[in-house]
Amino acid sequence: MSLVVGVGARRGVTAREVCDLVAAVLREAGRGPGDVVALATVAAKAGEPGLVEAAARLGVPLRAHPADVLARVRVPHPSDAALAATGTPSVAEAAALAEAVAVARTTGPDGPGGTGRTSGTDGADRADGADGADRLTGGELLVPKRRSASPGARVTCAVAVAYRGERLPPEGSGYHRGDAVFDLPGAVSNR
């Protein structure tokens, strides 16, 4: 299972703050750092030293997405504060989902750059499996936005699963299709 961790951060966040929250959220999900394939954030934060160092410590790339792209991703916990600061109502959740879809689209059932994919009209990719069945690729929030518990917290994160030619859960179970994210059963807001 490939996981993407979306990270929202205030200026001056430390790598330790980021890594501590990522570790806590992965424990919550019953996963480890070896499952993470990328950290993702908004483009305006791509050069933030704490994020860059956290990605290096985790041994994964830091991927950045433009605010206008992230603003189109529906998420369960939008924030007016994030919108005012970055131009998108979500950084952590939207970046996790956007990058999960990017990971799924670049690694199809035939491996990286595989040719077993054709674009679906619903915005998700479709991959023909060995059994001839249509398989969707995309992302799903595994852990919605969480905020660091430390005083003066400067970081949030969310974890998304990147589906690579695997069967996705049905709509309504948190499946991300194109720009739509359906509600996660039992999701708890940690705003």
* CA–CA distance, 187 with 152 (Å, rounded to integer): 25
* CA–CA distance, 136 with 94 (Å, rounded to integer): 19
Q: Name, in order, each residue with C-beta under 8 angstroms of 91's C-beta and a sequence gap of 6 or more.
A: 6, 7, 8, 41, 42, 45, 70, 82, 156
pLDDT of residue 96: 95
Q: What is the pLDDT of residues 167-189, one digit of tens each?
A: 444 444 443 444 333 333 333 22
Q: What is the pLDDT of residues 136-160, one digit of tens each?
A: 346 789 999 999 987 877 899 999 9
Q: What is the CATH number of domain 2-181?
A: 3.30.420.180
* CA–CA distance, 35 with 1 (Å, rounded to integer): 6
Q: What is the pLDDT of residues 86-144, one digit of tens each?
A: 999 999 999 999 999 888 887 654 333 333 332 322 223 333 334 333 333 467 899 99
What does the domain layout of the chain look like in residue ranges? Answer: 2-181
- Across residues 72-85, what is the average pLDDT? 91
Beta-sheet pairing, 107-108 with 62-65: unpaired
- Across residues 55-71, what is the average pLDDT? 96
pLDDT of residue 164: 65
Tell whether the model's pLDDT for residue 161 goes beyond 50. Answer: yes
* CA–CA distance, 10 with 116 (Å, rounded to integer): 40
List the one residue out of 146, 23, 131 whose CA is nearest residue 76.
146
pLDDT of residue 4: 96
How high does pLDDT run on average in the chain?
76
3-state secondary structure of 111: strand
Query: Would you tell me how many other CB atoms lie within 10 Å of the CB of residue 130?
Result: 9
Per the model's pLDDT, the better-predicted residue between 133 and 75 turns out to be 75
pLDDT of residue 163: 78
pLDDT of residue 25: 94
List the one residue out of 34, 38, 56, 41 whose CA is nearest residue 10.
41
- Across residues 48-56, what is the average pLDDT? 97
Beta-sheet pairing, 180-181 with 175-177: antiparallel
Amino acid at 47: G
pTM (predicted TM-score): 0.73
